[in-house]
Structure 1
Amino acid sequence: MTGSAPQHNHAQAVQSRPQAGSPGAAQWTVRDAVVDFARRVGMTSIFANPGSTELPMFRDFPTDFRYVLGLQEAVVVGMADGYAQATGNAALINLHSAAGVGNAMGNIFTAFRNRTPLVVTAGQQARSILPYDPFLAATQATELPKPYVKWSIEPARAQDVPLAIARAYAIAMQEPRGPVFVSIPADDWDQPAERVPEREVAHVTRPDPAMLERIGALLDACERPAFVVGGAVDRADAADEVVRLAERHRARVYVAPMTGRCSFPETHRLFAGFLPAMRERIVELLGAHDAIFAIGAPAFTYHVEGNGPHVPPGAQLCQLIDDPAVASWTPQGIVAVGNVRLGVQDLLARAAPAERALPAPREVPPRALPPVAGERMSVAFALQTLAEVRDPDGIVVEEAPSSRPVMQRYLPIPRAGRFLTMDSGGLGYGMPAAVGVALARPGERVIALIGDGSSMYSIQAIWSAAQLRLPITFVILNNTRYAALQDFAPVFGFGPHEPVQGTDLPGLDFVTIAAGMGCPGVRVDAAAKLADALRAALAAGPLHDGPTLVELVVA
């Protein structure tokens, strides 16, 4: 997964219709103009769940387009999000009026936090009956997805729809990227329209050289620098440059709190670990450093209330970020706003600083032990075994919040672009995102590492994976509870043995659920069988050309 948009060429597959107004040309419709524009920018996979007000969009469906069906709208958006992040290009979504947009809102929120470029369209009732508040009409359609879209419109005229789609694409792709929304009345599609003119729009801006000069001077002058990297590094395809910059400055590299992508190799000598979303702990972990450089990350994301300074006393903070809204609340220091890769390249163009000593390497976690007889295997043992049998260069899509700290210790990601989770904290993203990633990376087996509670928010994604014969291994960590909430309860005053209502999840059988959607699976509750079961589920070949599921019963 990279942040650079791929090149698309569909001219050989389908010839564009003659431009309206040319001699002998048929009149273009809104549908013609939208399909033509989507083809030109590479949005030829449409992620959707159908409804009556959307049907006119799909008449005469072009043969070089692909309709990707999700059985619920949250699944649709999650699949499109994974696909867009893996390709680096905006994905096209079609939802059903107000109810469909409402079902999708959780993952639209996640896409907004992920900075994922999505063009979300939704059907609207016919313009001629909108004054009569008809069935399935979306009242104030453009307001429903706000504030979690960058732009929202219902065009004033049918003829404006193609230009609205073109503008939506440009806004979605402009850094900081994100979802946009276009509401389209059902009777617009057959109205006459003109082809969207050819144009090129720059989607990135270069950070201010004067601010980068100040950041570079600070890094040169400090003695013990720390880098804190976030998802914008991977989105900008800047991980290699960040590695070079860290090696030049001998900087320890931490991952910013709640980061949804891998932006620095977790096996690198300078990798220092993951920062928690707690102010006091961040200050404690960064206490040995006199300069802190946040690259492609907020400074900082918090989850609980805290007190005291945001950085260690005596340390100076600087930041390179693609989002001016994030820069606006950075508590102190020097901030450069613009494309992360271009900014890091400019810092690398400076003369090399005086050489520093290498910092001490990160402590290697002890090996997790298999369980004693009669006990469930630990998450640490399960993920350690997965790390040992999987292809280290494979892709992992994760949504197991309570197991994430364990995963970060026992399932290291060796290079950028091979890990994805949600920045939002909203559940229901991981399973469909794995489907989208697999669609974008044909032939690569994707591991979807999902908690038992998380999986039930978008379990329908298994059906899409099975229908599309995608090589996904769903690994379900079944601890029969919402463990994250139970683990977090003491922060809010719960006693050590006080029950947390609504957090137990008995009776779920994921192998049976998967089989009902056409996906084979196996349940593993014995540590001795774990490695072989995972190897079989990850194997390629005629018997494993589609998805499979492994349910791990863990402590």
Structure 2
Amino acid sequence: MQADAVIARVQDNEQTGLVPVRQAVTDLLRQFGMTTMFGNPGSTELGLFLDFPADFRYVLGLQESVVVGMADGYAQATHNAAFINLHSAVGVGHAMGAIFTAHKNRTPLVITAGQQSRAILPYDPFLFSSQATELPKPYVKWSIEPARAEDVPLAIARAYYMAMQPPCGPVLVSVPADDWGRLCEPVQARQVSRSVRPDPVLLDRIGGQLDVAGRPAFVLGAAVDRDGAWDDVVALAERHRAAVWTAPMSGRNGFPEDHPLFAGFLPAARERIVSLLDGHDFILALGAAAFTYHVEGEGPHVPPGSVLAQIVDDPNTLSWAPVGTAVQGSVRQSVRDLLARPQPAARQDPPRRVPAPRAEPSPLMSVAYVLQTLAEVRAADSIVVEEAPSARPVMQRYLPILQSGTFYTMCSGGLGFGLPAAVGVALGKPGSKVIGVLGDGSSMYSIQGLWSAAQLGLPITFLILKNRSYAALREFAPVYGFTAKDALHGVDLPDIDFVATARGMGCEAMRVSEPDALPVILRKALGMKLPVLVEIDVA
């Protein structure tokens, strides 16, 4: 009799066109091109995986922050939102640091979080998220727990559209455990325009200021590469013979660093920015805040006599720009509109960037020597995912990024992004060589990502710059009055064996401490088709 009832129910469903919520969601995700799921499941999420489609892939992370970090890298690499499944309140709590980074990275993520069954919600059940929609705020664009199970697919559709609408970012949908099996109507994906055309009057004003400038400078942020505007920005800079700087704390690079117009990287300090931009009468910030500061400063935000303009897709970023003209819009479309203007008068080239002195080998290798060697042995189209804060200024001199889509780091300052993001980027760009350049301290925030890399068999070379400390804090300490005589607590990291850790996670691993061996080991590691970790002793 039970079998007859099931058959009758299935026939009724076929006649009405209703399907289980889980099927409506997976059918919708398939239309969005989101057949890869990232997660670390718990009991309240299991209903999603009944009758899991054969064309879907589930990527398991061993901790929720690793899950979000992998999804962040994957979404950036594929230019599409990534789908994440987290466990109720605790799982979302574990992931919050990574969600904050995704928010700062402007990465589109559709996050689902489990919730207890609706029937027992009034009784504060075990694993209950009492304020599921409030928990991830303010670092999601939108969060909802649908009023009815039947509304879950529509909520996920709306979440996708909002995640993908510039400025992109994460969204969260809380789904009670019993919703996945309820019946609902299927949802069809819609085509939604995501390009924001800039205000033509304001853009014409910026174009006019650029045309008459004597010594223009561009300051490029992560949105240049994120919006696919790399080639257009190169063309605009060449047309105007503009000096090109990378904005402070940018998570992506937007210009070839071997180009004669590339001037370097701006620090996150007001006085230093003004000093470096001095002499430029027009400054155009493209896809960047104007400007991001890390330490307290004083004085003007731009050099005296300079005019500032800014084009970015984020109205919040525009709202606090202290001076100048600010325009919201797609960076790529804005630059193409500027390129459509008549050819300006000829200008002289700005002074060329002074090349870094060659780093020489020493018994305890310098970071400069390691990164210089990496630059010499890696392919130009290999992808660098970096999270080594103390090494970043050195990297900016000795490891040039030459092509679009070949550099990723976090815009948030929060550690734990780099290692799992390298896994996500490798998943999103199959066949590409991915190189994770990581500090020993930052890598430990998400070391579990090595297991996922090994299970997936991804061609990633993880380089651990082992200086046995949180070196960035040592360098930053003088800002707060520390002298060489003062004790600095909590920054030493002795006795971490990364080779043993990597092998325990299923990765190949090597250690190098001699400068003569470094080129050989790097070439061997970069030539491997499976994940490998190289622990490098540095000063």
TM-score under structure 2 normalisation? Answer: 0.97
Where does residue 551 of structure 1 map in the other structure?
A: 535
Equivalent position of 1:408 in the other structure: 396
- Alpha-carbon deviation of 1:88? 0.2
CA shift in 2, pair 1:20/1:198, >3 Å: farther
State the distance in 2 between where 1:67 and 1:134 align: 28
Deviating above 4 A after TM superposition, structure 1's stretches of 4 or more consecutive aligned residues are 19-26
2:426 pairs with 1:435: no
- Cα deviation code 1:167-186 (max 9, x no counterpart): 00000000000000000000
**Aligned equivalents of 2:250 and 2:14: distance in 1?**
55
Alignment partners' CA distance in 2, 1:143 and 1:516: 38
In structure 2, the partner of 1:4 is none
The match for 1:269 is: 260
- C-alpha spacing 1:20/1:83, structure 2 compared with 1 (3 Å): farther
Report the Cα distance in structure 1 between the residues aligned to 2:188 and 2:377, rounded to whole angstroms: 51
Task: Note the C-alpha offset of 1:196.
Answer: 1.0
What residue is the counterpart of 1:236 in the other structure?
Answer: 227
1:493 paired residue number: 481
Instruction: Name the residue aligned to 1:220.
Output: 211
For the residues of structure 1 that align with 2:371 and 2:330, how far apart are their CA atoms? 35
Aligned counterparts, 1:379-390, within 5 A: 379-390=367-378
**Aligned residue number for residue 316 of structure 1:** 307
The answer (yes or no) to whether the contact 1:43–1:92 under 8 Å persists in 2 is: yes
The alignment's TM-score, normalised by the length of structure 1, stands at: 0.94
Residues 506 and 149 of structure 1, relative CA distance in 2, 3 Å threshold = same
Match of 1:187 in 2: 178
Equivalent in the alignment of 1:108: 99
The answer to whether the 8 A contact 2:37-2:83 is kept is yes
Aligned to 1:11: none
Kindly report the root-mean-square deviation, in angstroms, between the aligned alpha carbons of the 2 structures: 1.2
* Alpha-carbon contact 2:213-2:282 (below 8 Å) kept: yes
Q: 1:481 touches 1:505 (CA, 8 Å); kept in 2?
A: yes
Q: Give the equivalent residue in structure 1 for 2:434.
A: 446
1:34 corresponds, among 25, 48, 54, to 25
Contact 1:20/1:195, CA 8 A, preserved across alignment: no
2:464 maps to which residue? 476
Residue 308 of structure 1 aligns to which amino acid in structure 2? G
Q: Report the Cα distance in structure 1 between the residues aligned to 2:533 and 2:14, rounded to whole angstroms.
A: 57
Partner of 2:517: 529
1:444 Cα deviation from its structure 2 partner: 1.2
Distance 1:120 1:369, change over 3 A: same
Seen in structure 2, the aligned counterparts of structure 1 residues 440 and 192 have a Cα distance that, compared at 3 Å, is: same
Q: Offset of 1:22 from its aligned partner?
A: 9.1
SS in 2 for 1:143: coil
| Alignment pair present for 1:120 and 2:104 | no
Shift of 1:198: 4.1
Question: What is the CA–CA distance in structure 1 between the aligned matches of 2:176 and 2:225, rounded to whole Å?
Answer: 37
Supply the distance in 2 between the matched residues of 1:553 and 1:433 (Cα, whole angstroms): 23
Q: Shift of the alpha carbon at 1:211?
A: 0.7
Distance 2:370 2:487 in 1: 27
In structure 1, list runs of 5 or more residues that go unmatched. 1-18
Q: How many angstroms does 1:209 deviate by? A: 0.6
1:304 corresponds to which residue? 295
Q: Distance in 2 between matches of 1:293 and 1:64?
A: 46
Q: What is the aligned counterpart of 2:188 among 173, 192, 197?
A: 197
Which residue identity does 1:64 align to in structure 2?
Answer: D
Counterpart CA distance in 1 for 2:35 and 2:236 is: 38
Determine whether 1:83 maps to 2:71.
no
Write the distance in 2 (CA, Å) between the matches of 1:529 and 1:209.
Answer: 57
The answer on whether the counterparts of 1:444 and 1:471 sit within 8 Å (CA) in structure 2 is yes
1:337 and 2:337 are equivalent in the alignment: no
2:84 paired residue number: 93
* Counterparts of residues 250-269 of structure 1 (less than 5 Å): 250-269=241-260
1:150 matched to 2:141? The reply is yes
- Write the deviation string for residues 456-512 of structure 1: whole angstroms up to 9, x where unpaired: 000000000000000000000000000000110000010123221000000011000
Aligned-partner SS, 2:305:
coil
Q: Secondary structure at the match of 1:42?
A: coil
Residue matched to 1:209:
200
Deviation at 1:203, TM superposition (A): 1.4
Give deviations 1:396-455, integer Å, cap 9, x for gaps. 000000000000000000122100000000000000000000001111110000000000
State the shift of 1:21 in Å: 8.8
Structure-2 residue corresponding to 1:279? 270
Quick one: which of 164, 167, 170 aligns to 1:176? 167
Deviations 1:7-45 (A, max 9, x none): xxxxxxxxxxxx999974663111111011100001110
Write the deviation string for residues 154-211 of structure 1: whole angstroms up to 9, x where unpaired: 0011011000000000000000000000000000011111111342111121001111
Aligned-partner Cα distance in 2 for 1:259–1:67: 31
- Tell me the secondary structure at the aligned position of residue 351 of structure 2: coil
Equivalent position of 1:15 in the other structure: none
Q: Residue type of the partner of 2:155?
A: A
Contact 2:115 2:176 in 1 (8 A): yes
Amino acid at match of 2:514: A
Provide, for residues 87-113 of structure 1, a one-character-per-residue CA deviation record: whole Å limited to 9, x for no partner: 000000000000000000011000000
Question: For the residues of structure 1 that align with 2:11 and 2:467, how far apart are their CA atoms?
Answer: 61
Question: Equivalents in 2 of 1:50, 1:181: separation in Å?
Answer: 16
CA contact (8 A) 1:20 1:26 kept: no
Whether 2:42 is the aligned partner of 1:60: answer no
CA offsets per residue over residues 123-150 of structure 1, 9 Å max, x none?
0000000000000000100111000000
Give the secondary-structure state (helix, strand or coil) at the position aligned to 2:421. helix
- Residues 389 and 534 in structure 1, CA contact (< 8 A), matched pair in contact too: yes
User: How much does 1:245 deviate?
Assistant: 0.4
Aligned CA distance change for structure 1 residues 213 and 429 (closer, same or farther; 3 Å): same
Q: Provide, for residues 328-386 of structure 1, a one-character-per-residue CA deviation record: whole Å limited to 9, x for no partner.
A: 00111111101111111101000011010111211111100111xxx411000011011
Identity rate of aligned residues, in percent? 65
- 2:353 alignment counterpart: 362
Contact between 2:286 and 2:310, CA under 8 Å: does it hold in 1? yes
The number of residue pairs the alignment matches comes to 530
Mark the runs of 5 or more structure 2 residues left unpaired by the alignment. Answer: 1-9
Tell me, in whole angstroms, the C-alpha distance in 2 between the residues paired with 1:358 and 1:153. Answer: 53
Distance in 2, matches of 1:326 and 1:366, equals: 37
Partner amino acid, structure 1, of 2:311: L
Residue number in structure 2 paired with 1:455 = 443
- Give SS of 1:317's match: strand
Q: Which of 340, 344, 351 lines up with 1:349 in the alignment?
A: 340
Secondary structure of the residue aligned to 1:184 is: strand
For the Cα contact (< 8 Å) 2:469–2:494, is it kept in 1? yes
**Structure 1 residue 545: Cα displacement:** 2.4
- CA contact under 8 A between 2:18 and 2:186: conserved in structure 1? no
Give the 3-state SS of the residue equivalent to 1:356 in structure 2: coil
Asked if the contact 1:476–1:552 (Cα under 8 Å) also holds between the matched residues in 2, the reply is yes
**What is aligned with 2:7?**
none
